Amino acid sequence: MNSIFSLDNPVWNFIGKLVDMLALSVLWAVCSLPVVTLGASTTALYYVMLKLAEDKEGAIFQSFFRSFKENFKQATICWLIMLFFGLVLGGDLYICIRRMDSAAAKTLLIVFFVLAFVYGMVFTYLFPVLARCAADTKKIFLLSFMMAVKQFGWTLFMLVITAGVVALAVFVQWLFLLIAAGLIAYLHSLILKNIFVLYDLGLPDTDDGELGIPY
Q: Domain residues of the chain, as ranges? A: 10-214
Give the predicted TM-score (pTM) of the model: 0.86
Residue-wise pLDDT for 129-176, tens only, equals 999 998 999 999 999 999 999 999 999 999 999 999 999 988 887 878
Q: Check: CB of residue 144 under 8 Å from CB of residue 126.
A: yes
- pLDDT (tens digit, 9 = 90+) per residue, 46-102? 999 999 998 776 789 999 999 999 999 999 999 999 999 999 999 999 999 888 888
Apex 73 CA angle, 200 and 37, nearest 5: 105
Burial of 66 (0-12, 13-18, 19+ CB in 10 A): middle
Element (H, E) at 134: strand 133-134
d(CA 49, CA 55): 9
**DSSP state for residue 204 in the 8-state scheme:** P
- Scored b (16 or more CB within 10 A) or e, 186-210 reads bbbbebbbebbeebebebeeeeeee
